[in-house]
Amino acid sequence: MINHDDALKAVASSLDRPSAARIYDYFIGGNTHYAIDRDFAEKVRARLPLMGEYCLTSRQFLGRTIRQCVREGIRQFVDVGSGLPTAGNVHEVADEARPELDTRVLYIDNEPIALAHSTLLLADTADPERHHAIAADFLQPDDLWERVKASEIIDVRQPIALVINAVMHFVKDEQNPDRLLEFYRSRLAPGSLLVLSQMTNENPVNEDERQALLDLLEYYETTTNPGFLRTMAEFERFFGGWPMLEPGLVYAPAWHPDEHTVFAGSPSESRVIGGIARKP
């Protein structure tokens, strides 16, 4: 964890380009974003009017999966690519689901700006004995896992929920995501859960939407995190053939929807797919 002064400096020095983490925060109604992020977000919204709802879908999916992980007996969470602390953080959802307050959460992000904001914002809601934020890169798995083990709040010998939510659409195939996911799956203890989601280009409703999704990728090339969309079939391999919790890999709003779920009546319009698999 960086100190408060360094965090402020990192925030101040990050305003030359839109931040994918802050753009996401803006779309889901958070407070940690700046004019450069809002301008970019509105450019995206002009091309994809439902982009905010897509991001909200991802955030809602995260909350529902964390509650399910708690019901499945998981007490440790490693949130990779966690982005900015905002409404519905993993530790907040887990604590609501477990009034015993015995869950532990490790947030991991490679963006200095995300870690900086975590340093500034987690202090308001987190228990320093159970909730940490560290810097590590999903694309550097050996180093990341060593930092998980060194965190002192995660026992890698016990089941973990490894949460990689709304991240894989920032990992291109040339970055070898198959190798990365194989590494992380191999490090998890039996009984662990793997939570994955990403935006999809599955079955666009018409040519305009197909082109809009291509335009979205072009826009994100100018941010801190260029993007890459996948179909269900292309995404399913990341679960490594592990048994899926019901209802399997689906459009996110179809995954145990509740009264707050956007797109509950038309899940395929959400552009977000996801699921949970259990390590045998």
In a 3-state reduction of DSSP, which class is residue 133? strand
CATH code of residue 170:
3.40.50.150
Pick from 16, 35, 85, 18: nearest CA to 224: 18
Per-residue pLDDT of the chain (280 residues; tens, 9 = 90+): 545 455 455 555 556 778 888 899 899 988 888 899 999 999 999 999 999 999 999 999 999 999 999 999 999 999 999 987 777 889 999 999 999 999 999 999 988 777 777 777 677 778 889 998 899 999 999 999 999 999 989 999 999 999 999 999 999 999 999 999 999 999 999 999 999 999 999 988 899 989 999 999 998 888 877 889 999 999 999 999 999 999 999 999 999 999 999 999 999 999 999 999 999 9
Pick from 142, 154, 255, 147: nearest CA to 196: 255
Non-local CB neighbours of 236 within 8 Å, separated by 6+ positions: 249
- The 3-state secondary structure of 144-189, one letter per residue: HHHHHHHCCCCCCCCCCEEEECCCHHHCCHHHCHHHHHHHHHHHCC
Measured over the CA atoms of residue 126, residue 63, residue 21 and residue 188, the dihedral's sign is positive
Q: Residue type for 244, please?
A: M
User: From CA 4, how far away is CA 118, in angstroms rounded?
Assistant: 10
Pick from 169, 110, 162: nearest CA to 136: 110
pLDDT confidence of residue 14:
54
Domain that holds residue 100: 4-279
CA dihedral in degrees (145, 147, 150, 155; nearest 10)? Answer: -40
Report H helices in the chain: 4-12, 20-27, 35-47, 51-71, 90-97, 112-121, 141-150, 177-187, 207-220, 232-236
Neighbours of 246 (CB within 10 A): 10
State the total domains in the chain.
Answer: 1
SS3 content of the chain, % helix, strand, coil (to 5): 45, 15, 40
Residue found under tokens 């998981």: 74
Task: Give the predicted TM-score (pTM) of the model.
Answer: 0.92
Strand-pairing partners, residue 5, are none
User: From CA 253, how far away is CA 204, in angstroms rounded?
Assistant: 17
